[in-house]
Homo-oligomer: A and B are copies of this chain.
Amino acid sequence: MVKNRKMLLEEYLETKKNLVDRALEEYFPERDGFSSEISESMRYSLFAGGKRIRPVLCVASAEAVGGREDAVLPIACAIEMIHTYSLIHDDLPLMDDDDYRRGKPSNHKVFGEGVAVLAGDALLTEAFSLLSGKTTGISPEKSLSIIHEISTAAGFQGMIGGQVADLRAEGKEVGMEEVNYIHINKTQALITVSIRAGAIAAGAGKDDLNALSEYGRKTGLAFQIADDILDIESSREILGKNTGSDEDSKKATYPALIGIEESKKRTRKLVEDALSDINRFDEKALPLRMIARFIAERKS
């Protein structure tokens, strides 16, 4: 039987997700004694059932330029740890105040706010411990440059900058400039660096790296817009009604600013452009191509 594209993608995502899960399990086993509670709190969010999109992109990017998955696994896992810390801190009452994450109680609802803050801090810190530890076949120069790219993308002029702007945008009318600033920093920066870090680790040349960075920026932005569309469409479905343009218009999203149909059009265009950015690659970039299409088409 010839597998269709959807089956191929699902198989790929599942295989890489398991790979990342196993590696994270190895880096963060359960612990006894004084560190048992913080360790349990870190593991709770780390294994809460994320799709592992960022680490999968990191591995797929390395493979696209001929790299091996085991060499980039620590990098892929470190990025997932940084993503996970940002979710724990985002969910706190003093930020977005979300009681649930992926259908399970948020970290602070289970472990308390103090431990949740510290578990986030710890995941961020341990990400750099992992990135600077024994890596397989990556030169110290490259490791340093990967650490520099990741910390910059996650820092106050990257992911954290986007989060601050998002925090300040809450309940206010915001324009396109601000929405773009939030998306570019809060979401796109870490997705782009996932792809760049995988490629750098795998020894990508300058032109390949530039092409992959462009692909990363476009899929990163498409991912965020698609997420906001899904958010509205799924709540409409669940609530059986339009969630109301009043509320929507105060959200820092594309759908709130330009409507759902136009947002869908933009997402499709971004994905098309991302695909032509990586035209230069052979069939080893098939997973990257499938993931880009999946981002525009996914229903959950």
Contacts and interface: CB of A to CB of B under 8 A. Distances in A.
Interface stretch (A114-122, A249-257, A273-281): A114-122
Interface in A117-137: 117-118, 120-122, 124-126, 128-129, 131-133
Interface residues of A, number: 51
A161 interface: yes
A125 B144 contact: no
A110 to B, nearest CB: 14
Given A122-B160, A148-B129, A156-B122, A117 B89 contact: yes
A155 interface: yes
Report whether over half of chain A's contact residues are helix, strand or loop; otherwise say mixed.
helix
A156 B115 contact: no
A290 interface: no
Interface in A203-228: none
Contacts of A168: 37
18 contacts: A37-B168, A38-B161, A39-B156, A42-B156, A94-B113, A117-B117, A121-B121, A121-B160, A122-B156, A124-B124, A129-B148, A129-B151, A129-B152, A131-B147, A132-B148, A139-B140, A140-B141, A143-B144
Q: Which 6 A-B pairs have the closest CB atoms?
A: A140-B140, A122-B156, A129-B151, A94-B113, A132-B147, A132-B148
Interface of A: 34-35, 37-39, 42, 85, 89, 92, 94-95, 112-115, 117-118, 120-122, 124-126, 128-129, 131-133, 139-141, 143-145, 147-148, 151-152, 154-157, 160-161, 163-165, 167-168, 178, 181
